[in-house]
């Protein structure tokens, strides 16, 4: 399998649930990213990891908790989400600064 793979593709959860999103990249990249994509808005960067170390946290609420156990895997743990958190969550990987990022197909998250 090649590229960036995200699971699940769709997720519906209640506000009190706990769930996790998974991302795996097979491109040999050392940087991984989480983005949020909402309708009519630019992609919002949430977290950046370089060589498993978190290097950016864009003032993301604590109900989103990232985890990067190695350079190929990235998780986003979700708990006590709000309806406004419903969006497409995209994972990307890249070789670092000034290099293109390569995206997965995202997880469509709906909060009831």
Partner 1 sequence: EDQVTQSPEALRLQEGESSSLNCSYTVSGLRGLFWYRQDPGKGPEFLFTLYSAGEEKEKERLKATLTKKESFLHITAPKPEDSATYLCAVQGNTGNQFYFGTGTSLTVIP
Which residues here bind partner 1, judged by CB under 8 A? 4, 6, 31, 40-43, 45, 48, 50, 55-56, 58, 90, 92, 96-106
Question: Please, which residue, 17 or 72, has the CB nearer to partner 1?
Answer: 72
Residue (16 or 53) nearer to partner 1, CB: 53
Mapped onto helix, strand or coil, the DSSP state of residue 96 is: coil
Contacts 24+ apart (CB under 8 A), 59-66: 66/34
- Given a contact cutoff of 8 angstroms between Cβ atoms, the answer to whether 78 and 20 are in contact is yes
Closest contact distance (angstroms) between CB of 35 and partner 1 is 8
d(C-alpha 78, C-alpha 19), whole Å:
5
Which CB sits closer to partner 1, 55 or 82?
Answer: 55
């Amino acid at each position: 399998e090649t590229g960036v793979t995200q699971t699940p593709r769709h997720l519906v959860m209640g506000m009190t649930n706990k769930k996790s999103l998974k991302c795996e990249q097979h491109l040999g990249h050392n940087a991984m990213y989480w983005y949020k994509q909402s309708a009519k808005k630019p992609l919002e960067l949430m977290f950046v990891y370089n060589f498993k170390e978190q290097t950016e946290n864009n003032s993301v609420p604590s109900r989103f908790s990232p985890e990067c156990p190695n350079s190929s895997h990235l998780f986003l743990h979700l708990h006590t989400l709000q309806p406004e958190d419903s969006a497409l969550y995209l994972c990307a990987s890249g070789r670092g600064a000034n290099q293109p990022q390569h995206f997965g197909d995202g997880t469509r998250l709906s909060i009831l």
